[in-house]
Amino acid sequence: MDRHVLQPHTRASIRVVTSAGPEELVGWVLASDDDQLSLRTRSGERQVQWTQVTACRSVGVPRGRDPLRMPTAELSQLAEHAGLNGRKFVTRLSQLLDGRDPVGPVGDDVALFGEWAVTSGEVELFAAAWWAAQADARNLLVITDEAQRAAELVALGLAEVS
Q: What is the pLDDT along the chain (162 residues), one digit of tens a residue?
A: 666 668 888 899 999 998 999 999 999 999 999 899 999 998 999 999 999 999 999 999 999 999 999 999 999 999 999 999 999 999 999 999 998 888 876 767 899 999 999 999 999 999 999 999 999 999 999 999 999 999 999 999 999 999
Does one domain contain both 33 and 106?
no
Beta strands in 5-161 (DSSP E): 11-18, 21-32, 36-41, 44-49, 53-58, 87-92, 110-113, 116-120, 139-144, 159-161
* Domain boundary residue, one of 24, 39, 58: 58
Domain span at 76: 67-161
Question: Euclidean distance between the first and final Cα of the chain, in Å?
Answer: 47
Cα gap 16→139, rounded to integer Å: 30
pLDDT digits (tens, 9 = 90+) for 46-81: 999 999 999 999 999 999 999 999 999 999 999 999
Does one domain contain both 76 and 143?
yes
